[in-house]
Structure 1
Amino acid sequence: MSADYVHSFTVCGIYQATHLLGEGATGSVWQAFNILSGLRVAIKTCPIPVDAALPPLLPYEVNIYRLLRDSESEGIPSIHWSGTDGNHQVVVMDLLSPNLNALRRLCRGTLSLRTVCMLAEQMLARIQFIHSRGILSGDIKPHNFALGCYHKARILHLFDFSHAQLFIDPSTGGHVPFRIGRNIQGTIRYASVAAHRSHEISRRDDIESLLYTLLELYHGKLPWYELSKRQGTYFNDQIRDMKEGPEFRDFLSESLPEFRSFHAHCVGLSYGQTPDYALLRGLFRERMQKEGWCYDWVFDWEDGRSSEKGTLVPDDYVFDMRFVERRALDPA
């Protein structure tokens, strides 16, 4: 279905949908506005399963958002309303800007190292935060990160927790034990090797998926890009072999030392071990310092001059800071 498809409907008589933003395995996302306040929001809808025995998907995701709700945190969308409307499960949440995959394409397929370093700073902060709440994303990828709107336009958000899970057992307070035989979850292109092997995932797997995400943002493609567009066990196994084989090692050898150090940390983590988030942030901070770059949070898509290839943003587009509240995002 085209993203330009217009289908107007209301939720609770308050939120008026204007157009479709996208569709996925867990539902459809629409842009809407509050008819009382004019505030623009996003609405995610999912049909209620015909089989009553099937678990409802959207309420589970809403519960994850509630576990992550914290007045001191940033970068997690707020939920405005959730419940059942007609024959759909619905959640109304903050509207975000285009995701990082869309912004990468806007920047002619790749992002500058400076932008990747700044993104890594915030991406690691988001992942560390959800881990501190005992939650794994299970689906770290460029499509699930987006900047906010209005005064949050400099804040990178992590969203879509349909594959999220707890890694802390509420009954024991300990880490969920290792096991095998789990179904592969998340997106194959960015899945960890352990996920490919149907192993129980832990925090190291979110970090490994982040490595693949950063590499794609910087290089434009991962070595297994073409295979990831095909479905089936055979292709999944081929991708897994590439991720732990010479193809990926050769790819890393031709990349930057920061990515090689990042990968070395990933493979050195055992199941259940806490990643060294500070070490990983330090890799990109040192690069920023070495190059003489500052954390001004001006990304490639805002200023095409920061990218050698420029962007596909029309020349007459102006990013006007009158509509953006600068936040103090001190990486120190």
Structure 2
Amino acid sequence: MLGQALGVSDEWIDVFVGTRTRHFARDLATGEVRASLADLCAEAGAKALAATGLDAADIEFLVLATATPDRLLPTTAAQVADRLGLDHLPAYQLQSGCSGALQAVELGAALLGAGAGAGLVIGGDVTHRHLDLRPGAGRLPGRELVNYVLFGDGAGAAVLTAEPAGERVAVRNIVHRLTGLGRAPGQLLDWYGISDRESDRPMLAEDYKAIEEQVPQMAAQLLWALLAETGWQPEDVHYLLPPQLSRRMTERITQRLTLPCAQEISCVADTGNTGNALPFLQMERLFDVMAQGERALVLSVESSKWIEAGLGLERL
């Protein structure tokens, strides 16, 4: 349907991106917006709470990561907290690309370490607002058109607890670092105010050549840094959750990641690039197959200013 709406072939989408399906919170035929980011994040948060058996009174903080908030103010984090019946607790919003989901886990783990008992971490993005989905988009230059078939909308969430609960998967170590000193951004996501809304600057732009060159190398560096932090050997890792830029890019990345016993857990071919939702969507698939004592590494690379984030997981 997306190919038909844009006037491009399924073969073109497969060659450049490799994504089979994706989800938009906007009806491509009518233009009707069916869900906001707050809608998607609140739904994901409610499902995460239900999976643990906790209720709103048990949650002591909320952290939401997104690159595409509904508004600058009030924050989407505050809106989601309100919809979930959360009050009298800190609600943080991290402005970040796909690495923000793991940054949210890092902040949540720090809050648990400071004495909190349980908290909700959420990642989500709604990218359709940055794409002109009217008929005729297929005539755009390829470097712009690829964004239309790359991205999707979605949200994911997890409950963090100081004591094991629910899925009983332990976060063992977290690596999070900015590596973009002196380097041009690989991705730009703009916004306009009253004074510049007539600007011809693109809302969304990416340097795909730089991304193709840099991200696989960054993912390999992150992998070894995370192994060093966990103290695990490559053969100790049962599952690998690689960065999910697109199916084609994920294939290039995993070729650089030598984990002899690890099963790949990916979802981007089915969901599209949903930004901060992706690590949570991958972890949901992981928990369906992960057995007691098994270990997994989750990797995320953000090309905006070249950020690496990763964590180790172990089923208790």
TM over 0.5: no
Larger radius of gyration: 1
Question: Between Structure 1 and Structure 2, which shows a larger proportion of strand residues?
Answer: 2
Higher relative contact order (CA 8 A, sep 6+): 2
Question: Which range, TM-score by smaller chain?
Answer: under 0.3
Q: What is the TM-score with the length of structure 1 in the denominator?
A: 0.25
